[in-house]
Amino acid sequence: MQKATFAGGCFWCMVTPFEEQPGIGGIVSGYTGGHVENPTYEEVKTGTTGHYEVVEITFDPQLFPYERLLELYWQQIDPTDDGGQFHDRGSQYRTAIFYHDEAQEKLALEAKEKVVASGKFQKPIVTEILPAQTFYPAEEYHQGYHKKNKDDYKADRAKSGRDEFIGQHWNGE
């Protein structure tokens, strides 16, 4: 099993696309990339800790290769938005791929170049490719939030504009 770490805005919305895929051993919502040890959600959401909201995915590369995770990741985000994602604004909601080794870095850079070359976007691709840093799991109530709080999750996702963006830019992939 290997790890993949992706920042794509609200971590609740980044769980569902991956959780039902073959070879996914688990997904943990959390924080990485900041300067505060063991940050809380309340601290991270202020945008002052430097952390990104992320999902850390444990996967079997034989069943679901990293390249496929990357393809799925790009289709969940607006890679041109450096101020957050959809209705979630602030540095904690920026997009980034946190690589765990040189192979992941190489594949992530190649995947980013593929998005650039696709011509889907008029603005520059701002999603960063960064080395993995200490990962801090989010509080328990954030884990599996979309299942524990179905109505709240659906309402939040519906008003975010994420699904409309995905439909406009990525459907058919």
The HSE-up count of residue 115 (CA atoms within 13 Å, CB side) is 26
Place of tokens 């604004």: 89
Tell me the whole-structure pTM to 2 decimals. Answer: 0.94
Q: Mean pLDDT over residues 5-30, rounded?
A: 94
For the annotated catalytic residues, the residue numbers are: 10
- Judged against a pLDDT cut of 60, whether residue 172 lies above it is answered with no
CA 151 to chain centre: 22
- Judged against a pLDDT cut of 90, whether residue 78 lies above it is answered with yes
If we measure between CA atoms, which residue out of 53, 78, 97, 90 comes closest to residue 161? 78
- Judged against a pLDDT cut of 80, whether residue 137 lies above it is answered with yes
**What is the percent of the chain with per-residue pLDDT over 90, rounded to a whole number?**
82
Q: What is the pLDDT of residues 100-117, one digit of tens each?
A: 999 999 999 999 999 999
